[in-house]
Amino acid sequence: MKKSNFDVVVIGAGPAGYVCAIRCAQLGLTVACVDAWSDKNNKPSPGGTCLNVGCIPSKALLDSSHHYSFLTNYAAVHGITTKECDIDIAKMLQRKNKIVKTLTTGVKGLLKKNKVTFVHGIASIKSAKEVHITKSDGDQVLVAESIVIATGSKPLELGFLSVDQKQIIDSSAALELGKVPGHLGVIGAGVIGLEMASVWSRLGAKVTIWEAEDQFLPMVDKDVAKQASKIILSQGFDVQLNSKVQAVIKNKKSVTVTVLGAEGESQTEVDCLLVAIGRVANTENLGLSDLGLAQDSRGFVEVDAQWKTNIEGIYAIGDVIGGAMLAHKGSEEGVAVAEQLTNQHGHVNYAAIPWIIYTWPEIAWVGDTEQQLQIDNVDYKTGSFPFTALGRARAMGDTEGMIKFIADANTDRLLSVHIIGPSASELIAEAVVAIESELTAADLARTIHGHPTLAEGMHEAALDLDGRAIHY
Amino acid sequence: MNIDIKIPEFSESISEGTVSTWIRKVGDHVDEGETLVEIETDKVVLEIPSPATGVIEKIIKDENEIVNSHEVIGQLSESSQNIAQNNQLDSDDKGVVSENNANNKSDNYKKTGPSVRKLIEEKNVDIASISATGKNNRITKQDVLVAYSKDQQSNLSQSSIDVANRNNEIERVPMSGLRKKISDRLVAAQQEYAMLTTFNEVNMSQILSIRSKNKDKFLEQHGVKLGFMSFFVLAAIEALKEYPVYNASVEGSDIVYHRYINVGIAVSAERGLVVPVVRNADAKSLSSIELEINKLAAKARENKLSIDELTGGTFTITNGGVFGSMLSTPIINPPQSAILGMHAIEKRPIVEGDEIKIAPMMYMALSYDHRIIDGREAVLFLSHVKRIIEDPIQLLLHL
């Protein structure tokens, strides 16, 4: 069998793995990056869940459906009337697939440019120094000084329910529906459930979401969650909290869902049922148990603060170690491990990771929620600003939502920022820089923001912390 | 207004201290409670906090000077910034006041950014030693590099202290308070005591097998690794009960027998050897002894041991084995009368019956004060310890 030697073998070419591989290469290490993902033609498709069936394709459909929703619901107030407005789902999916193709090809190009050896195949770790690759054109052994596991995560399935990807689907198939379902049922009102519900409800589906928790968006700041339930829940999809799916029966053309809610058991018939209840570590085929690599009860690989597993020389990063399942968190861990391997200090500030939910308006935040700060007994102060008071938001016609700042009451240091509103995903970047740089609210209040922009809302919320917002 | 920076009351057993390091310098802005200066005594390093927020006006006692309880070693003046802020509070313009408050407050901590924090970690610079030159008390990359090069220089200059008395071959460094105390004590022990050492060897295979069989469970149950030391502590306690004179000390012409057993454990810390004490060890279980030794050793390494934790020992165990020592003669820690030395475990051929076998062996050394302990008892004490370590079940049976 062919044997090759590398300084580092990275398993997985998602946003954690390929970024780690490139950073290692930049630092002068010899790197192989192994990935098993194939496209419909069995060609390699690096980029992991994010590029293939996650962040990118979902955003493509969110944007397409947003345009449709604008034309049918909001264009009229701008003085734009449309005679006919049709949806060509096939074309919409084609556009999405083309974007995925462009970007995965781009990752291949980036790896090549950085002289990372890309290996398309299934990896299993034989020892702390050896990775065995099963692939179509002959198996191969990679020998490495260090191994980085970055194999990501996959959708969690409900025990009693098997996903057939036609009537009962997971998030990947929800990006591939050939026609708009009449009634889409969704189990789980988390980020993925809400985003897919947004896409298909905008395109005309009736959407019902069942959520077992009794709170809407419990991980979000309470003021933002309150606004979100008001705004988002008025957009044509029905979120039923405190509702546990008890049974699912597949009929010929529909699915009957039995739900135990606050008012007892009820049955709903849907055309298609999306299971979006969370994600678990993807460690199949890696041979971790034979290796004795420590995993927690949910299968996530256990690592210490330096992303070291219990086996010397093997590291793990990204979704496979659990925590925040975010592409940008994984990428940053990839960079940190690479730098650590070359004797630098690996830097990931888990307190300054932006979180984004791509509903419309978008929800984005960084830092602790107000309810968490109360639990932690932090002495804080808050400031906020509504988008209704912003000229730019008025001009856009997107006036729903607000920005909330929380700062330390004693030092004025910015602790967290919570946004629900247009382009919250972009606005949050300023807050992340501020928190990472340990700025105070007064620092942002003293920083000039362009006019008219949505970012002025950030300025005003910072001013409001000091009781001196100008425009509200 | 000037505020004195004072040495607190030393405990009875400490007569004086030495100014070890001034962490902040004249002209530095300091916050109340922030550590200004470290004072080294023969037992512990004391961190002296700032009595108030302000600027250091004067340093009266420089580094390496001797200081006593309550002595004033420097002066602090309330910062002009605070005074300015107070004046502004009287102003009518509320908006300005609150903004200024925010700005002043924001000056209270040194701000860094991600790349600066990375550099601080990599250069291993103490953030307190960096003076921030950026806007609003921000530490810049340059500030880190300046502090780092100062660190490097001070390391260099420390090793070149007293240039005048130095020729090319020697280097003269004043002993630290702790080192001096260690030196005085050891010399005193050698001079006053009739010190003698007896040796024995012990087969460690029983303890090793107990340890490997139970180490995971022990860790899970007690949250601490199962080591050898606690077995030796228990074995020594049994022997001390059998031969109480080992737990006694000489005072003038009296022999003072202690009814309690406080076992000192010698720990090598960065500043020198310290001997924290496991109190009433005879009333403790193996796991709690192991836990306590661990805690004390961690504190010793961080120079955080309190005086209480360092005094009152009646018997000492020292383990030169951690550094690989095969055999040594430990020196008694006055006013105690004996010290047990453990050493490295090594596989050696031994004769069992008429066969040669390989066994994990350790040499033990017992230094004792011959004035009150006879040679016979010394040999018996050590063989008692040996018997228990080789057959630990005796601990249960108190044989």
**Domains in chain A, number:** 3
Q: Are residues A317 and A365 in the same domain?
A: no
Residue B109 sits at the chain A interface (C-beta within 8 Å): yes
Q: What's residue B156's pLDDT? A: 67
Work out the pLDDT band at B150, boundaries 50, 70, 90. Answer: confident
Is the pLDDT at A31 greater than 80, yes or no?
yes
Q: Tell me, yes or no, if B136 comes closer than 8 A to chain A by beta carbon.
A: yes
Total beta-carbon pairs less than 8 A apart between chain A and chain B = 51
Q: Which of B106, B109, B122 sits opposite A443 (nearest CB)?
A: B106
Rounded Cα distance between B50 and B38, Å, is 12
pLDDT classification of A238: cutoffs 50, 70, 90: very high
**Same domain flag for A318 and A427:** no
Q: Average the pLDDT over A442-456 and give the result.
A: 94
Name the more confident of A44 and B172.
Answer: A44
Same domain, A289 and A143: yes
B121 with A347: Cβ contact below 8 A: yes
Chosen domain end from A259, A277, A295: A277
Q: Tell me, yes or no, whether A118 and A237 share the same domain.
A: no
Report the pLDDT averaged over residues B348-359: 91
Whether the ω angle into residue B8 lies within 30 degrees of 0, i.e. cis, is no
CA distances for B76 relative to B17, B38, B57, B127, angstroms: 21, 16, 5, 22
Residue A370 lies in a domain: yes
Q: Does A440 touch chain B (CB under 8 A)?
A: yes
**What pLDDT, on the 0 to 100 scale, is given for residue B100?**
41
CB-closest option in B95, B106, B118 to A345: B118
pLDDT beyond 80 at B107: no
More confident residue, B191 or A11: A11
Provide the mean pLDDT of chain A.
95
Query: Cα separations (Å) of A99 from A90, A95, B393?
Result: 14, 6, 72
Q: Is B103 on the interface with A (CB under 8 A)?
A: yes
- For residue A328, being part of any structural domain is answered with yes
What pLDDT was estimated at residue B96? 39
Domain(s) of CATH 3.30.559.10: residues in chain B? 178-397
Select the more confidently predicted residue: B12 or A1: A1
For the stretch A428-448, pLDDT in tens is 999 999 999 999 998 899 899
* Neighboring chain B residues of A347 at a CB cutoff of 8 Å: 114, 117-118, 121
> How confident is the model at residue A430, as a pLDDT?
97
- The answer to whether position A470 is within a domain reads no
Q: Which of the pair, B254 or B155, is modelled with greater confidence?
A: B254
Q: What mean pLDDT is predicted for residues A166-170?
A: 95
pLDDT digits (tens, 9 = 90+) for A95-120: 999 999 999 999 999 999 999 999 99
Q: Are B333 and B264 in contact (CB under 8 A)?
A: yes
Mean pLDDT across B381-397: 90
The CATH number of the domain covering residues in B2-80: 2.40.50.100
Radius of gyration of chain A (CA): 24
A458 contacts: CB under 8 Å, gap ≥ 6: A403, A417, A427, A430, A431, A444, A449
- pLDDT exceeds cutoff 90 at B235: yes
User: In terms of Cα–Cα distance, which of A21, A72, A83 is closest to A46?
Assistant: A21
Question: Do residues A409 and A381 lie in contact, with contact meaning Cβ atoms separated by under 8 Å?
Answer: yes
Would you call A411 and B106 a contact, using CB atoms and an 8 Å cutoff?
yes
Closest alpha carbon within chain B to A413: B106
* B338-361 mean pLDDT: 92
Are A130 and A33 within one domain? yes
Looking at CA atoms only, how far is residue A436 from chain B in angstroms? 6
Residue B92 binned pLDDT confidence (cut-offs 50, 70, 90): very low
Burial of B369 (0-12, 13-18, 19+ CB in 10 A): buried
Angle at A154 between CA A148 and CA A157, to 5 degrees: 145
Q: Are residues A291 and A147 in the same domain?
A: yes
CA atoms within 13 A on the CB side of A290: 10
The gap between the terminal CA atoms of chain A, to the nearest Å, is 71
Which one of A67, A183, A451, A471 is the catalytic residue?
A451
Domain harbouring A439, CATH code: 3.30.390.30
Q: Is the ipTM of this complex over 0.85?
A: no
Active site residue A451: yes
CB A30 within 8 A of CB A95: no
CATH of the domain at A243: 3.50.50.60
As a whole number, mean pLDDT of residues B152-177 equals 62
> What is the C-alpha to C-alpha distance for residues B101 and B104, in angstroms, rounded to an integer?
5
For residue A244, the model assigns a pLDDT of 95
The mean pLDDT of A394-406, rounded to a whole number, is 96
pLDDT digits (tens, 9 = 90+) for A2-19: 889 999 999 999 999 999
Please indicate, yes or no, whether residues A107 and A220 belong to a single structural domain of this protein.
no
Closest by CA to B74, choosing from B2, B176, B128, is: B2
**Lowest-pLDDT range of A399-413, B46-60, B76-90:** B76-90
Residue B167: per-residue pLDDT: 52
Query: A468 — contact with chain B (CB < 8 Å)?
Result: yes
Counting every residue written for chain B, the total comes to 399
CATH classification (class only), B100-166? few secondary structures
pLDDT at A411 > cutoff 90: no
Percent of chain A with pLDDT over 90: 91
Chain B positions touching A342 (Cβ under 8 A) are: none
Could you tell me the pLDDT band of residue B159, with boundaries at 50, 70 and 90?
low
| Residues A421 and A362 sit within 8 Å (Cβ to Cβ) | yes
Is B111 within 8 Å of chain A by CB? yes
Burial B24-50 (b: 16+ CB within 10 A, else e): beeebbbeeeeebbbbbbbbbbbbbeb
Catalytic residue ranges of B: 370, 374
Q: What stretches of B6-79 show up as alpha helix (H) in DSSP?
A: none
In this prediction, residue A406 carries a pLDDT of 97
With a pLDDT cut of 90, the percent of chain B lying above it is 25
What range does the domain containing A185 cover? 168-277
The per-residue pLDDT for B91 is 37
For residues A402 and A375, state if they share a domain: yes
Judge if A370 and A425 occupy the same domain.
yes
CATH fold of B178-397 reads Chloramphenicol Acetyltransferase (3.30.559)
B352-to-B10, B207, B293, B359, B383 alpha-carbon distances in Å:
57, 18, 35, 10, 17
User: A412 in contact with B at a CB cutoff of 8 Å?
Assistant: yes
- Is A436 touching B (CB cutoff 8 A)? yes
Q: Please, which pLDDT band fits residue B396 given cuts at 50, 70 and 90?
A: confident
Q: Mean pLDDT of all residues in chain B?
A: 81
Asked if B109 lies within 8 A of A443 by C-beta distance, the reply is: no
Mean pLDDT over A136-160 rounds to: 93
Co-location of A357 and A300 in the same domain: no
Which residue of A344, A438, A468 is in closest CB contact with B112? A438
- Which residues of chain B form CATH 2.40.50.100? 2-80
Name the H helices within B166-254.
Answer: 177-192, 205-222, 229-242
Answer yes or no: do B122 and A344 touch at CB < 8 A. Answer: yes
- Are A307 and A390 in a shared domain? no
- List where CATH 4.10.320.10 sits in chain B: 100-166
Q: State the smallest CA–CA distance between residue A294 and chain B in angstroms.
A: 15
pLDDT of residue B51: 82
Asked whether residue A305 is domain-assigned, the answer is yes
pLDDT reading at B355 higher than 80: yes
In terms of DSSP bridges, do strands A272-275 and A183-187 run parallel, antiparallel, or are they unpaired? Answer: parallel
Query: What is the average pLDDT across B222-240?
Result: 90
> Where among A256, A277, A298 does a domain terminate?
A277
Domain endpoint, select from A277, A298, A333: A277
First to last CA, chain B: 70
